[in-house]
Amino acid sequence: MSHLSISKPKAVNKKDNQSWLFLPILMGLFQSTLIAATPKFIAITGLSAVQWAVLLSMPTLLFLFMSPRWGGWADRHGAGVIIRYSALGLGLSILILSLVWWLGKTLSFAPWLWFMAIAVSRILYGVSASGVMPTCQSLAVETSSRSEATDDKSDGLSMKRLGLVGASLSIGRLCGPIVLIVLASQISWVLSVFCVVALPIVWAVVTFSLTFSLTTTPKKNGETKWLEESKKEESGDNDNRSTAPQVRVFFALAFCVTLLLGYLQFILGPLFLEWLKDAEQATFMMGLTMTAVATTALLCQLLIVKRLNWRSSSIMIILSLVLIASTLGFSVAQSTHLVLALMVPIAAVIALITPIYSRFAMALSNATKGHISGKLAVAHTSGYPLGSLLAGLSYGKLTFWWLPLSLIAGIIFILSCVVVYKSRLSAYSNLASNM
């Protein structure tokens, strides 16, 4: 009977310690600030638009390869144990970039030396920050299941904490440009603030990790075997269905949406710098634009997404038409304020269309929802850095900088029409079979 007394471990206070939620905030804050500060970085370092695009895209490419590995390490050793290494790497990458910035301005680095030094911090950031979301999402589920709540309440708690992880990242992305504006686009001040903020966050996460690991027991062989069998089932018979043509349409749609977003976010920095002829004014305008975009996206996610008619795919056509009209509007935009105004509907469309096609894609097969979701994540991740690289390579070479945006928006419209056609065709076939 003694084994019954330990079958349900008693909850400990550490389950209420959610200091790890500050890691996504720090990651979003850091990355969004670097994007918003593009004009200032280019003006001071002497790097070209292509070189800065490579530096910004480098971590995102590492995310493609490292995020699954971090997830695997979290499964084997426990997310509470692994998260300390991700936190330490993230904090160290911020410290290294701050040191590089101070040395570069003090010793007047040549552009090639700026590139090499910043690349070191960006590689470290990509390797370490790629583990933030997998470990935090695993912790959201793991800490909920270890609570004293019933199974139903535990499921609700895990969903709530998963939502908090995503919200934390959005908050960081929203606050990054605001911090840049408040500190008058002074990169030295911004990096100093990041160092001051990062140190206590990393210390709190490492402390949590050490405490968590003391009471975490390794997975039982039966549980590990069950996980392995589940993975085999998902990647075996169902793999063909998850890569069927109707699902590939959604993968292409996800890639094009983030390709457009990556192109647009990068091209605005050099464009504002060219128009305003002043790095500080361009950086301020870039921060203001990104703040407006993040605010629009957040409001759409909170107020509109839940009220959309998810059963009708036709709304994707309407949204893609708005996207085409907005990108064509850039052809007559000759001021930063008009660009800012056009960014609002674009941000709204992306915020609304992403959950729509994601939901339709995962609804194609209940047995492979996780596999489809993972494929969509890869498409999203790969589109963004390629969009930034495309912007860096094409800027200054294309007379109409907005033309690639309109072409990508046109492809999104075509893919949306394909989705609507296949959806209606499937509905008609189901109706005929029932008759």
Question: Fold identical between 17-218 and 238-435?
Answer: yes
Please check whether residue 389 is in contact with residue 53, taking contact to mean a CB–CB distance below 8 angstroms: yes
- DSSP string over 15-30: GG--GGGHHHHHHHHH
| CA separation for the pair 137, 82 (Å, rounded) | 12
DSSP annotation string for 216-234: PPPPPHHHHHHHHHHHHHH
- The answer for residues whose C-beta is within 8 angstroms of residue 277's C-beta and 6 or more apart is none
Q: Which residue stretches of 277-368 are H helix?
A: 279-303, 315-329, 336-362
Using CA of residue 38, residue 44, residue 50, residue 51, what is the dihedral sign? negative
Per-residue H/E/C for 133-163: HHHHHHHHHHHHHCCCCCHHHHHHHHHHHHH
Using alpha carbons, select from 266, 275, 284, 278 the residue that is nearest to residue 185: 284
Write out the E strands in 219-295: none
DSSP reduced 3-state for 329: helix
Domain ranges of the chain: 17-218, 238-435
Fold assignment, 17-218:
Growth Hormone; Chain: A; (1.20.1250)
- Cβ–Cβ under 8 Å, residues 284 and 181: yes
The pLDDT profile of the chain, 435 residues, written as one tens digit per residue, is 444 444 344 444 444 577 888 998 999 889 888 888 888 888 899 988 888 888 988 887 788 788 778 877 887 888 888 899 999 999 999 999 999 999 999 998 999 999 999 999 999 999 998 888 888 877 877 776 555 444 444 444 555 665 577 677 778 878 888 888 888 778 889 899 999 999 999 999 999 888 876 665 555 443 444 344 444 444 444 444 444 566 788 889 989 998 998 899 888 888 898 898 888 888 889 889 988 888 888 788 777 766 665 556 788 899 999 999 999 999 998 889 999 999 999 999 988 888 788 777 766 765 555 456 656 767 777 788 788 888 888 887 777 889 999 999 999 999 999 988 877 776 555 555 555
Q: CA quadruple 287, 289, 291, 294: dihedral positive or negative?
A: negative
- Tell me which architecture the domain covering 238-435 has in CATH: Up-down Bundle (1.20)
- Picking from 405, 412, 418, the residue whose alpha carbon sits closest to that of residue 253 is 412
Residue 233 identity (one-letter amino acid): E
**Chain-centroid distance, C-alpha 255:** 13
Asked if residue 317 lies in contact with residue 417, where contact means CB atoms within 8 angstroms, the answer is yes
Of 132, 59, 124, 66, give the one whose Cα is nearest residue 385.
59
Q: Which positions ≥6 away from 435 have C-beta within 8 Å?
A: none
Q: Measured in whole angstroms, how far is the alpha carbon of residue 435 from the centre of its chain?
A: 45
